[in-house]
């Protein structure tokens, strides 16, 4: 029997018809809800709960695994197709509640499998899983039900994790904006007008939005690390051979790695413990023998930055004006590390930028290795050419697919030269790190924050770790001037995952940069809030002696970022009115227009607008003011500072 590429095929289980009934597409969930119509329970809040916190709550009887599944499903129902419409999930596991019940019974009988027992997680939809289709976001694979679980999926299940659903991804993992012919466009919960990174963007958005405790992605050139960067998450690309690729649809097996995306370094260590190690079906994992610790939690050491030596490469930090907002955040992270006792060392490896040009292997390996995966009995298509001929792909992928389809074979001299170049890159990096006694090289995973949907995402630094086959971890580093998350990537020597966990944990515990997105708040939070202000001439800057006033009513939805407005001026004729605006400035100051609320000749304006991340931040910080401009008072007639009132504190 022909097996998956690079792995030994396991015995196939017969596909059961009931598996089809187990699938709940996000469209069905949006229309009908999940099978039991889950609602958020009042006793326990899942928002931002870590895996140890969930485990402690279940051990204390404050929540059951069944209730956790219900609450995460309720959040998916509220925010995936509704609210901000993240579109992160591609299918849900209809058996999740039954699996939770079985794990609750195990716990009640005194048997707990480990830290993941009863914990809901999500996996990227290029991981095989019995009972759910493995589509990789492609309509060509919409009806492909694999015969067995991917190795890492099987390990998660054995550890007691509940896979509540599979996440959208950039189609066949061939891109970094997460758009697919089956799943559509996933949105970034920090700003739904922007992309979530990719190709594991659905996992990134789902974990950031608290749709599960953790998620699994895959990384060929940044596909775990870029979504982690864009979502204030922790993500790891391990040393080649750390974890099995068995049952993950390949993009380029020389570079492919599966691994976790989590909200904390602790959670990452726990998921790593459950998923790494030798798999007889994937010979590359033999490289991990003797290199994997008994548990990565042994490396959770605060204060580990003291005495560390952190290297930087200037070309990775960004040299163009467009790179500077991210570079400033990374520089602040490096300054914080230095203040904690680390030494920052500027490195020079002159050969590296040129060696990395064209060194990623997706174009060369995809067609051949994907075709080998498709030889698994029962797959509905047999090659990328067949998908192209049938038009079963998203138009955004056509050029990449055709380049791969036209690529020479894996015995082509150019391909062999690129493969050999990878060894040169690895040697240069490791020699430099050894000479300078460097513990890790630090840089931004990508040099630009998430771009608006429909625009290309430039600035990736994914290539170095992928080409060198070295481990790299991403940890939240803060937020750029546009309010979007920025992640710090640390690259280490081969099999230095533990050392990277140690450094990332130390930085995380020192800074605590992670904050959840505003668009997916607790389900107990108010959905809409309305405030009203009276604008007067006395409040204008400078004051205006006028009897005219205006009333401004704003209705705010934190989940969608939508601001409804109704502004009416009194004591002003329509013909005299020029504009009504929201400006950006603190109280007592003047600043630029950020939103227009009415047109010339209108003393009333009403409507709604979805705020950008910067506008939202200014509104919630009280940095917007309403101003009405008339023909006699071009600089403004009446004013009111607007924004949510500050939270009250108990005496």
- Among 269, 268, 263, smallest CA distance to 189 is for 263
* C-alpha span between 536 and 399 (Å, rounded): 58
The catalytic residues are: 124, 199, 223
Banded model confidence at residue 502, pLDDT cuts 50, 70, 90: very high
Of 239, 189, 188, 235, nearest in space to 216 by CA? 235
Query: Distance (Å, rounded) from C-alpha 122 to C-alpha 423?
Result: 35
Region 441-456: what's the mean pLDDT?
Answer: 96
How does residue 41 score in pLDDT terms, banded at 50, 70 and 90? very low
Nearest in space to 89 (alpha carbons), one of 27, 131, 138 = 27
Give me the DSSP letters along 411-468: T-HHHHHHHHHHHHHHHHHHHHHHHHT-SEEEEESBSSPPPBTTS----B-THHHHHH
Q: Which domains does the chain have, with CATH numbers?
A: 18-511 (3.90.1300.10), 529-642 (2.60.40)
pLDDT at 649 over 50: no
Question: What does the pLDDT average to over 238-266?
Answer: 98
User: What's the pLDDT score for residue 524?
Assistant: 85
Lowest-confidence pick of 82-86, 92-96, 255-259, 472-476: 82-86
Instruction: Report the alpha-carbon distance of residue 33 to residue 70 in Å, rounded.
Output: 11
Rounded to an integer, the average pLDDT of 129-144 is: 97
Model confidence band, residue 23 (pLDDT cutoffs 50, 70, 90): very low
Mean pLDDT over 308-316 rounds to: 97
C-alpha to C-alpha distance for 588 and 514, rounded to whole angstroms = 32
- Is residue 300 scored above 50 in pLDDT? yes
**This prediction's pTM:** 0.86
Least confident span in 45-49, 81-85, 283-287: 81-85
Mean pLDDT confidence for 120-133: 98
- Residue ranges of alpha helices (H) inside 304-351 are 314-317, 324-339
Of 118 and 482, the one with more pLDDT: 118
Least confident of 34-38, 159-163, 410-414: 34-38
- Dihedral-angle region of residue 398 (phi above 0 means left; psi in -120 to 50 means alpha; beta otherwise): alpha
Q: How many helices (H) and strands (E) does the chain have?
A: 19, 22
220 preceded by a cis bond (ω within 30 of 0): no
Residue 315 clears pLDDT 80, i.e. is over it: yes
pLDDT value, residue 28: 34
């Amino acid at each position: 029997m022909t097996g998956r590429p690079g792995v030994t095929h396991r015995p196939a289980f017969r596909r059961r018809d009931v598996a089809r009934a187990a699938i709940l597409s996000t469209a069905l969930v949006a229309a009908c809800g999940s099978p039991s119509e889950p609602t958020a329970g009042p006793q326990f809040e899942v928002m931002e709960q870590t895996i140890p916190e969930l485990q402690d709550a279940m051990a204390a009887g404050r929540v059951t695994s069944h209730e956790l599944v219900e609450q995460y499903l309720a959040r998916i129902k509220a925010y995936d197709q509704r609210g901000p419409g993240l579109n992160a999930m591609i299918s849900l596991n209809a058996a999740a509640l039954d699996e939770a019940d079985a794990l609750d019974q195990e716990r009640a009988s005194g048997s707990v499998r480990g830290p993941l027992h009863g914990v809901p997680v999500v996996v990227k939809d290029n991981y095989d899983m019995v009972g759910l289709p493995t589509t990789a976001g492609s309509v060509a694979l919409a009806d492909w039900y694999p015969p067995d679980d991917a190795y890492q999926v099987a390990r998660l299940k054995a550890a007691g994790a509940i896979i509540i659903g599979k996440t959208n991804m950039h189609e066949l993992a061939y891109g970094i904006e997460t758009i697919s012919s089956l799943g559509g466009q996933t949105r970034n919960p920090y700003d739904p007008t922007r992309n979530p990174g990719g190709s594991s963007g659905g996992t990134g958005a789902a974990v950031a939005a608290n749709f599960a405790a953790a998620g699994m992605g895959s990384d060929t050139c940044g596909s775990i690390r870029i979504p982690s960067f864009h979502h204030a998450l922790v993500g790891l690309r391990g040393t080649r051979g750390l974890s099995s690729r068995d049952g993950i649809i390949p993009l380029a097996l020389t570079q492919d790695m599966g691994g976790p995306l989590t909200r904390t370094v602790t959670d990452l260590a726990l998921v790593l413990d459950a998923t790494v190690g030798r798999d007889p079906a994937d010979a590359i994992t033999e490289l991990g023998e003797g290199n994997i610790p008994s548990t990565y939690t042994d490396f959770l050491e605060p204060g580990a930055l003291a005495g560390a030596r952190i290297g930087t490469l200037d070309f990775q930090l960004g040299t163009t004006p467009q790179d500077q907002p991210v570079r400033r955040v990374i520089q602040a992270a490096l300054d914080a590390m230095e203040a904690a006792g680390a030494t920052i060392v500027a490195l020079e490896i002159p050969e590296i930028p040129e060696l990395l040009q064209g060194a990623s292997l997706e174009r060369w390996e995809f067609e051949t290795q994907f075709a080998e995966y498709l030889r698994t009995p029962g797959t509905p298509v047999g090659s990328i050419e067949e998908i192209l001929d049938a038009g079963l792909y998203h138009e955004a992928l056509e050029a990449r697919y055709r380049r791969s389809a036209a690529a020479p074979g894996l015995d082509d001299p150019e391909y062999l030269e690129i493969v050999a170049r990878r060894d040169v890159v690895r040697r240069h990096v490791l020699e430099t790190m050894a000479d300078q006694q460097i513990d890790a090289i630090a840089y931004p995973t990508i040099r630009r924050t998430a771009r608006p949907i429909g625009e290309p995402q430039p600035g990736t630094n994914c290539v170095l770790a992928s080409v060198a086959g070295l481990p790299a971890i991403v940890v939240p580093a803060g937020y750029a001037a546009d309010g979007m998350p920025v992640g710090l990537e640390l690259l280490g020597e081969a099999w230095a995952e533990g050392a990277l966990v140690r450094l990332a944990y130390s930085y995380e515990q020192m800074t605590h940069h992670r904050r959840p997105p505003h668009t997916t708040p607790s389900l107990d939070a108010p959905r809409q809030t309305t405030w009203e202000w009276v604008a007067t001439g006395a409040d204008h800057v400078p004051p205006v002696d006028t009897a005219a006033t205006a009333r401004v009513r704003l209705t705010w939805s934190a989940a969608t970022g939508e601001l409804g407005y109704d502004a009416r001026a009194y004591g002003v004729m329509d013909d005299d009115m020029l504009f009504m605006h929201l400006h950006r400035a603190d109280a007592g100051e003047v600043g630029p227009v950020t939103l227009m609320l009415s047109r010339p000749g209108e003393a009333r304006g009403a409507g709604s607008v979805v705020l950008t991340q910067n506008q939202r931040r200014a509104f919630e910080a009280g940095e917007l003011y309403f101003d009405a401009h008339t023909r006699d008072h071009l600089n403004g007639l009446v004013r009111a500072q607007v924004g949510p009132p500050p939270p009250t504190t108990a005496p």
